Structures are given as C-alpha cells and as structure tokens.
Amino acid sequence: MHADPSNPPAPESDHLYEKVADKIAQLIAQGDLRAGERIPSVRRMSSQQGVSIATVLQAYLVLENRGMIAARPKSGYYVQPRRRVFPPEPAMSKPAPTATLVGMSGLMGRLIEAVNDPAILPMGAACPSPQLLPTQKLNRILASLSRQAGNDAVEYDMPPGCPALRRQVARRSLDWGCSLSSDDIVTTTGGMEAINLCLRAVAGPGDTIALESPTYFGILQSIESLGMKALELPSHPRTGVCLETLEGELKRQKISAVLSVTNFNNPLGSCMPDNHKKQLTELLARAEVPLIEDDIYGDLAHHGPRPKVARAWDRQGLVLLCGSYSKTLAPGYRVGWVAPGPRFLQKVKHLKYTSTVASASLPQMAVAEFLQNGGYDHHVRTLRATYGEQVNRMCEAIGEHFPSGTRVTRPAGGFVLWVELPKSVNSLQLQDDAMRHRISIAPGPLFSCQQRYTNFVRLSCGHPWSPRMEQGIETLGRLAQEQLDSRARAGAGAAAA
C-alpha cells in the first residue's frame, strides 16, 4: 500500500502522531540522525512503533512543516541540513559577591510600553503570542462560566482563593514530584504577586535575597521596591546557580532567603538538575534559610519529561513554591498561585488580603475549568514543541546574522535567549537603535543591579517565527556590527592621532 502523503487518511489519535514526530525530532536534535540521512520508511516506522501508516504520515508531515525533514520523490524522507550550527554558549556568570541595593532607573519603561503596540517587533518582553495560546477556547469557557456563575462571579473570592483552581493545581503537583493538597495553595494575581507575597513573608527592608545572575528584571525591581538587597550569584546557562558559591556566602553573610527560577530560568534558560535541587534544599535546610522557588516556566520543557521542583525534596517546610498560567494559557487572565508551606501559609494569606484582598474570580474559574476539561496537557505538548522550534530558529538566525564572537544560550525549555555580544557592543545603545527600527529587545543591564551585562541582550522567542522576525534579527546583527565598526574606526583614529 502506498498512501498519498499530501492527503493522508485520519490518524488514530492526535496524540500519537505527535509522539512519533517528537521521537524523530529528538533523534535529529541529538545528532543520531544527521543532515542528508534517510529516516526510516513510513512502513518500517509503522511496524517498529506499532502505529498505523496514517499516524506516521501525519508525523512526517509535521516534521516537514517544521523544516526538519523533506520528502524526495520515490525515495523517502531525508533530514534537512540545518542552515548553520548554533553559536557557542555564554560561560557561567561572575557577579560581584556583595549584596547590592537594586538601583535601576526606568530602563524597563520602554520595554513594557512596547508590549501592546503591534507595530513593534516583540522580542523584548517575555510574552507568549496569543496565536500560540488556546485563546478562543479559554474565552469561550470564560463566557460560558460568566453566564452560569451568578453571584460567585461578583463576590469577593477571599484568600486562599478559588477552590476549583486550587484543586487543579494540587492535582498537577504530582507531576513535579510534590503532593500538594488544595489547602496548601493560595491563588494570586499572576506569578509576580506570588513572588512579592513570598518575599514579604520571609524578609523585610534591608534584608538580603540571594538569586541567580542574571535575573528577570521584574524580580529585581520588586526586591528594590521592597527595600531589600539582591545578592547575585554566579549561574551556569545549563545548570543554574553555583551551589558552592551559595554555600560559601551563607557562611559569610546573613541571607534571608534564596530566590530561584529552578526550571528554564529567565533569561538564562538554565534548568537545575535533580541532584542540584536536592543539594540546594538540603543546604538551605541546614542553614534554615527559606527558598522562594519560581516555577513559572516548569511546564515548558522542549523535549522529555516535565522537570521536578526543588520543593519535591523539601522536608522542613522551607520552600515557598510559586507558579502561574501566564506563559502557558493567558497572561491577561492574571492567574497565579503560591504554595507557601506550613510555616508561611498564614502569613502569605494575610499579605494577600492586605495587598489586593482577592483576585478576579472568573478568570480563575475559567483556568480551573480548562485544566480540568479543556485539554491542557495536549495544548502544552504542542506549545513545548513550538517554543522549542522557535528558540532553535532564532538561535540559528543569530548565528547567521550576529557579529562573530556572539554567544547564545541553548535553553531546554521556555522561550527566551540570552545573547552575549562582543565586549564592545553596548546593549543599551543597541536597544535605542533597535527601537528606531521598531524592534523591542531587553538590554542586559536590566538583569542585574551591578551595571553588568552591558554587552548582553535577552531576546524573546514567544512569537511564531516569520520572515519579519528573521529580518529583525538581521537588523539587530547589523546594528551591533555597526557599533563594532564605529568603535574600531574610533580606535584606529585614536591610534593614528
């Protein structure tokens, strides 16, 4: 039997073909299947995997659409050449070992203002494109709940917040190595409120919070606005925060809490290995220092299993775990949560009440309903692969268009890239220049309070890859090169003078 691949019969299940496609994609990513090699025939794959011909055809179609394989008439499917190898990764960060009063100016204003302007190419803020989210389905659920909910919709949903949402979060916590109950959870207005509540529950003004460097600027700004100090720790783009340094600092100075984005950290993309997570919780348990764990990107591994959270190894009730559906479902719904643990639960509930009283009821109910009956797992499976592909595409484009000497992270999850340009490129100037070309980027200095990372930028891959994106990267590369050239000329001029 030879099916027509341009019009394949219906596959057994829409989950199955994705699994087959993922398997092949992984073989390619790992280098087990190389550019130009023929991949197993449809028939062979079908019998090997115990799935129908239709399913395999569907899987190959998906890979073809992603540009990973190509059909050659009467011959089969072949792995497409990657356009270029990825640039190398940045080395471990080396911040100064002193706690600093976060002192950034309104650097982020432009970044935030650019978010809702469709004329600007969105590589600045870490926002997922609504095209990739189940926008219509969620809005329909919200509409339907809104018609049914009656009084529940307009009444205060007092802390700990929406019971249905807390049940769904608790149920899913098994996937992360925890077994939370709904009573462990307090719902919040997005992930940032969760982090703010945790910071205020464990520390006060003047206290020191240790965290990865670079760190998401929203967290640094939050620490600043609470009058706390940030101690930036060296961090590896694959494995995250350096535990040896943390251990030393815990002996050297008073640290009130550690804040870590353990999985697919923003902007580094690092994902702490399980044994690091275990060590981290043990280290902090000995020192009796709380860990604020921000797992906002945890569901977004590009391949493989969902990573665990450090909370899974917590025996002392010292890990305050925060999450949100802003990167997977709907940023505009503002649905987040925190599991503060028994020591801090009452305090977090109280702070939630004094900060915003309650969160909007209906968006929480809609997210709970989507988690229960809306196909969240299926959606996230697709989203993970899509983000993975978008990250790869941007990585390649950077390799192609950015000045030589550029380094870029290879995150295994999430959708941001941390790009190290040659030393003499000034990323603040690059942000200015890019904005004149209607391109939004996040300059490196935002991600530290030590005036570091002046030659780094964070680029968001949250929007579908497109010729416009490719052109944007090309423009950025040219602008960076122009800085290098003008500095080289100035240097030559100075030397000649």
Give whichever of 356 and 450 is closer to a second copy, judged by the CB atom: 356
The three-state (H, E, C) secondary structure of the chain, written as one string = CCCCCCCCCCCCCCCHHHHHHHHHHHHHHCCCCCCCCECCCHHHHHHHHCCCHHHHHHHHHHHHHCCCEEEECCCEEEECCCCCCCCCCCCCCCCCCCCEECCCCHHHHHHHHHHCCCCCEECCCCCCCHHHCCHHHHHHHHHHHHHHHCHHHHCCCCCCCCHHHHHHHHHHHHHHCCCCCHHHCEEEEHHHHHHHHHHHHHCCCCCEEEEECCCCHHHHHHHHHCCCEEEEECEECCCEECHHHHHHHHHHCCCCEEEECCECCCCCCCECCHHHHHHHHHHHHHHCCCEEEECCCCCCECCCCCCCCHHHHCCCCCEEEEEECCCCCCHHHCEEEEECCCCCHHHHHHHHHHHHCCCCHHHHHHHHHHHHHCCHHHHHHHHHHHHHHHHHHHHHHHHHHCCCCCEECCCCECCEEEEECCCCCCHHHHHHHHHHCCEECEEHHHHCCCCCCCCEEEEECCCCCCHHHHHHHHHHHHHHHHHHHHHHHHHHHHHHC
Residues 308 to 337 in contact with a second copy, rule: CB under 8 A: 326, 329-334
> How many positions of this chain bind a second copy (CB under 8 A)?
68
Give whichever of 127 and 380 is closer to a second copy, judged by the CB atom: 127
Give whichever of 16 and 442 is closer to a second copy, judged by the CB atom: 442
Residue 193 interacts with a second copy (CB under 8 A): yes or no: yes
From the list 30-38, 215-223, 283-291, 436-444, the region that binds a second copy by CB under 8 A is 215-223
Residue 207 interacts with a second copy (CB under 8 A): yes or no: no
> Residue from 31, 73, 106, 305 that binds a second copy (CB under 8 A)?
106
Residue 295 interacts with a second copy (CB under 8 A): yes or no: no
Euclidean distance between CA atoms 444 and 454, whole angstroms? 6
Give whichever of 178 and 442 is closer to a second copy, judged by the CB atom: 442
- Closest distance of CB 450 from a second copy, Å: 19
Give whichever of 185 and 408 is closer to a second copy, judged by the CB atom: 185
Residue 149 interacts with a second copy (CB under 8 A): yes or no: yes
- Closest distance of CB 105 from a second copy, Å: 10
Query: Environment class of residue 311 by beta-carbon count within 10 Å: exposed (0-12), middle (13-18) or buried (19+)?
Result: buried
- Closest distance of CB 361 from a second copy, Å: 4
Residue 229 interacts with a second copy (CB under 8 A): yes or no: no
- Closest distance of CB 136 from a second copy, Å: 7
- Closest distance of CB 88 from a second copy, Å: 33
Residue 133 interacts with a second copy (CB under 8 A): yes or no: yes
Give whichever of 18 and 369 is closer to a second copy, judged by the CB atom: 369
> Residue from 13, 179, 354, 372 that binds a second copy (CB under 8 A)?
354
Residue 159 interacts with a second copy (CB under 8 A): yes or no: yes
Strand partners, 235: 241
Give whichever of 222 and 270 is closer to a second copy, judged by the CB atom: 222
User: C-alpha 472: how far from its chain's center?
Assistant: 21
- Closest distance of CB 295 from a second copy, Å: 17
Residue 373 interacts with a second copy (CB under 8 A): yes or no: no
Residue 297 interacts with a second copy (CB under 8 A): yes or no: no
Give whichever of 360 and 428 is closer to a second copy, judged by the CB atom: 360
Give whichever of 112 and 174 is closer to a second copy, judged by the CB atom: 112
From the list 154-162, 177-185, 282-290, 313-321, the region that binds a second copy by CB under 8 A is 154-162
Residues 432 to 451 in contact with a second copy, rule: CB under 8 A: none
Give whichever of 246 and 329 is closer to a second copy, judged by the CB atom: 329
Cβ count within 10 A of residue 149:
16
Distances (CA, A) of 187 to 127, 174, 200, 235, 275: 21, 18, 16, 30, 29
- Closest distance of CB 497 from a second copy, Å: 43
Residue 192 interacts with a second copy (CB under 8 A): yes or no: yes
- Closest distance of CB 114 from a second copy, Å: 9
Binding interface with a second copy (CB under 8 A): 106, 108-109, 112-113, 115-116, 125, 127, 130-131, 133, 135-136, 138-140, 142-144, 146-147, 149-159, 189-190, 192-193, 196, 200, 204-205, 218, 221-222, 224-225, 227, 326, 329-334, 346, 350-351, 353-363
